[in-house]
Amino acid sequence: MKPFTMLACAAVLFWGFRAPVEAHEPGEPIVLKGRVNCPLVPSMGGMLFLQISISPPAFDAPRKKPMNLSIVLDRSGSMADEGKIRYAKSALLSFVDRLSPDDYLSIVIYDDIVEVLRPSGRVRDKREIHRLIERIYPRGSTNLGGGMVKGLEQVAATSSREFVNRVVLLSDGLANQGITDPHALNKIARRYRSKSISLTTIGVGLDYNENLMVGLAEYGGGNYYFIESPHSIAHILRREFDAMTTILAQNSILELSFGNGVQIADVIGYPWTADGNRCSISLGDLAAGHTKELTVEVRVPGGTGTLALARGSLRYETSNPSLQSPEPFDISVEYSRSAEAIERNRDLDAQAKADIAVSTRTVEKAMEALDSGNTTQALQELENAETFLKSSPAAESPQAGGALRDQLGRLDVFRKVLQDSSADHRRAKKSIQYDNYRIQKNNQ
């Protein structure tokens, strides 16, 4: 079996099962929980991991909020290859058919020129929108930044807390016109996210910049998708549409405040900022019934007795009056001189989740090595991730150990892909990075 066939099979095995969603009655609050991988810490201090979950209620009801969307479509010359523009147009036509007359839609197309094909407005005449889409044809270069900004501006013109406000950006190439600096583009995406306008990115084929597209989705608070075959564009747009129908709150931010001497080291998989003993973590939109989990790494000072480690609270924007805010959580830990007591009190489930999160960070290092053309270093980083997981205190746990073994299986597939001399490393890098992204975002 070829490694890429193995990667596809592994995706089915590892991501085919989703935990059942527990239904909530309307009026139930978002549930915010925090725990540590061990409630005891050595008297000399050390590293701890906070495992935090945000669980919005699941409402068995039709979508509540109308949509305010902008579709930003790359129409550069490369979109003619493999019929990408044809598949994209067909997918967009189907997407439009799913919108309601209460939804707002704008369409932006870009090559080296950015054009607002349809200004933001209610979806009243779908036949006219279809005619506009049918007239799109490929040409020119790729002013991705200009297209993104124009789409964000269109959504901003009609934005409201009553809507799901989102830009969906599709591209198959490198940003080579207009604003091309990733940091500048990320800053723009973050600025609009603070206005409750999120950004989803879809990369098609093997020639786009996946680091840029992941970053834009991260800072824009939306989703990122890798589509190797243009046949899958319609499926991904349907998936994105379905995800938007379940959004309960937008621009959610987790606020953490830490006890004396506690320092934040990292938040794995989410953008964050720190100011003194406080940290803000951008979570993007919250969807009904979909739990977000994240791992926060902190440094704990030495001491004795009890330490108030962290307090967590959640803020967000919503127009849903039945959505109740979650209660904050508080976590304290006890100092101990007994290594045996520390190991005996370890939360193995939290430990396994933290160790898997840390392994995804090592996979990111492998992808950076691939970007530099150093396949040997990339393989070494994957091997480091495997070694780390095998040494986890949770490795032998009957319950928590299963999740670790699943991640070890993924890492093994990643490594075999890179070891295949006949493999296209552009495809390998995009596939591995996308799978790693999904693990971090709980989108398995």
Say if strands 247-258 and 278-287 run parallel, antiparallel, or are unpaired: antiparallel
Calpha distance 406→87 (Å, rounded): 34
The CB-side HSE value for 30 (13 A sphere, CA atoms) comes to 32
* Residue/partner pairs of 192-196 with CB below 8 Å, 24 or more apart: 192/152, 192/155, 192/156, 192/167, 192/220, 193/219, 193/220, 193/221, 193/251, 193/282, 193/284, 194/251, 195/156, 195/159, 195/165, 195/251, 196/159, 196/161, 196/165, 196/250, 196/251, 196/317
Calpha distance 296→149 (Å, rounded): 32
Question: Where does residue 373 fall: left (phi above 0), alpha (psi -120 to 50 degrees), or beta otherwise?
Answer: left
Instruction: Report helix, strand or coil for 24.
Output: coil
DSSP state letter for 229: S
User: What are the φ/ψ torsions at residue 89 (nearest 5 degrees)?
Assistant: -65, -45
Which amino acid appears at position 432 of this protein? I
Alpha helices in 71-140 (DSSP H): 84-98, 126-134
Calpha distance 250→295 (Å, rounded): 21
Q: Is the dihedral of CA 144, 369, 431, 224 positive or negative?
A: negative
Q: Which two tokens stand for residue 90?
A: 């067909």
Domain ranges within the chain, ordered by starting residue? 31-61+251-341, 67-245, 348-440
Calpha distance 107→97 (Å, rounded): 14
Residue 207 near residue 176, CB atoms below 8 Å: no
Q: Do domains 31-61+251-341 and 67-245 have the same CATH topology?
A: no
Burial class (CB in 10 A: 0-12, 13-18, 19+), 286: buried
The CB-side HSE value for 172 (13 A sphere, CA atoms) comes to 26
- CA 120 distance to own-chain centroid: 26
Calpha distance 195→286 (Å, rounded): 15
Q: Which two tokens stand for residue 134?
A: 């049918």
Say if strands 31-36 and 40-42 run parallel, antiparallel, or are unpaired: unpaired
Expressed in angstroms, the distance from the first to the final Cα of the chain is 23
Architecture of domain 31-61+251-341: Sandwich (2.60)
Provide the pLDDT for residue 280: 96
DSSP state letter for 389: H
Provide the pLDDT for residue 178: 85
Question: Where does residue 46 fall: left (phi above 0), alpha (psi -120 to 50 degrees), or beta otherwise?
Answer: left
pLDDT tens sequence for the chain (444 residues): 444 444 444 343 333 333 333 444 446 789 999 999 999 999 999 999 999 999 998 876 545 689 999 999 999 999 999 889 999 999 999 999 999 999 999 999 999 999 999 999 999 999 999 999 999 999 988 899 999 999 999 999 999 888 999 999 999 988 888 888 999 999 999 999 989 999 999 999 998 999 999 999 999 999 999 999 999 999 999 999 999 999 988 989 999 999 999 999 999 999 999 999 999 999 999 998 899 999 999 999 999 999 999 999 999 988 877 788 899 999 999 999 999 999 999 999 999 999 999 999 999 999 999 999 999 999 999 999 999 999 999 998 988 889 999 999 999 999 998 998 887 888 989 999 999 999 998 765
Residues 6+ apart with CB under 8 A from 195: 156, 159, 165, 251
- Select the CATH number that applies to the domain covering 67-245 from these four: 2.40.33.20, 3.40.50.410, 3.30.43.10, 3.30.565.10: 3.40.50.410
